[in-house]
Amino acid sequence: MKIEDLIAQIHQKKSFLCVGLDTDLDKIPEHLLKEEDPIFAFNKAIIDATHPYCVAYKPNIAFYEAYGLEGWKSLERTMAYLNANHPEMFTIADAKRGDIGNTSTRYAKAFFETMDFDSITIAPYMGKDSVEPFLEFEGRHTILLALTSNQGAFDFQTKNVDGQELYKEVLSVSKTYKGAERLMYVVGATKASYLEDIREIVPESFLLVPGVGAQGGSLQEVCKYGITKDIGLLVNSSRGILYASTGLDFAETAAKKAQEIQQEMQIELSKIK
């Protein structure tokens, strides 16, 4: 997907919400467990209910991988359903992969070709030749971990490297990679004020922001420091939407939650000059 198409969709839906499909058999409504593929049944219902209010879906690959072959089947079915019925949706494989050159190319093929994701999250630790193979794919996007929203982010990401924090070094250095125009970045919302500094380094890049809501970040704060004239933000919510109800009304309630966020986003979008 071209970035212009994502931006157009955001303007049309007045939403930059990404719904994280962190589908967990221990948390989905019990009545779905009777289905042949409960994970897919849950995802399909969530997608059918929430798609008017969001522009992206982000399956966290660990949740599928944990169930072995069955989990991969559910993931492939979910992607096939999304691409057939909602081709306008920006899809993110939250995989946090990364390996040396040829091996990264294999991961890229798995997610961009075999499963037809629009984008994938990548860990930066192995540097240039672990990231660039993903950047070669036309019309696909690579979302590099910069500043994550977990406590462990302070172990290394915020440490000082040659005069600036490591996550800023990741932003600066990655801008020099071949195909850098296809880069986006993960920036945790629990540190919204950091976005001011981040925008100095990557003034226009799209940022994928997890951690709004359940993890305590504020949408207003994120927008205050992070929004650009072309929006430049995808804000993710997973549990807050997926598991808002675990009854028969789970999909309806998820849609209601997604719509609430969408309405807050509409206000923020209206402030862009």
Residues with catalytic function: 96
Judged by CB under 8 A, the residue of 128, 180, 245, 246 near a copy of itself is 128
Q: C-beta of 69: minimal distance to a copy of itself in Å?
A: 6
CB 161 within 8 A of CB 153: no
Judged by CB under 8 A, the residue of 90, 107, 134, 185 near a copy of itself is 107
Q: C-beta of 266: minimal distance to a copy of itself in Å?
A: 29
Residues numbered 20-49 forming contacts with a copy of itself, rule: CB under 8 A: 22
The separation between CA 231 and the C-alpha centre of its own chain, rounded to angstroms, equals 15
Distance between CA atoms of residues 140 and 214, nearest Å = 29
Q: C-beta of 50: minimal distance to a copy of itself in Å?
A: 21
DSSP string covering 176-225, please?
TSTTGGGEEEEE-GGGTTHHHHHHHHSSS--EEE--BSTT-B-HHHHHHH
148 scored as a contact of a copy of itself (CB under 8 A): yes
- Calculate the alpha carbon distances from 32 to 45, 263, 272 in Å: 10, 30, 42
160 scored as a contact of a copy of itself (CB under 8 A): yes
Distance between CA atoms of residues 145 and 131, nearest Å = 11
Judged by CB under 8 A, the residue of 14, 83, 103, 230 near a copy of itself is 103
By DSSP bridging, strand 164-165 and strand 160-161 are antiparallel
Phi-psi region of 96 (alpha: psi -120 to 50; beta: other; left: phi over 0): left
268 scored as a contact of a copy of itself (CB under 8 A): no
Judged by CB under 8 A, the residue of 92, 143, 170, 235 near a copy of itself is 170
For a copy of itself, the binding residues (CB under 8 A) are 22, 60, 62-63, 65-69, 72-73, 76, 96-101, 103-104, 106-107, 109-110, 114-115, 123-131, 145, 148-157, 159-162, 166, 169-170, 173
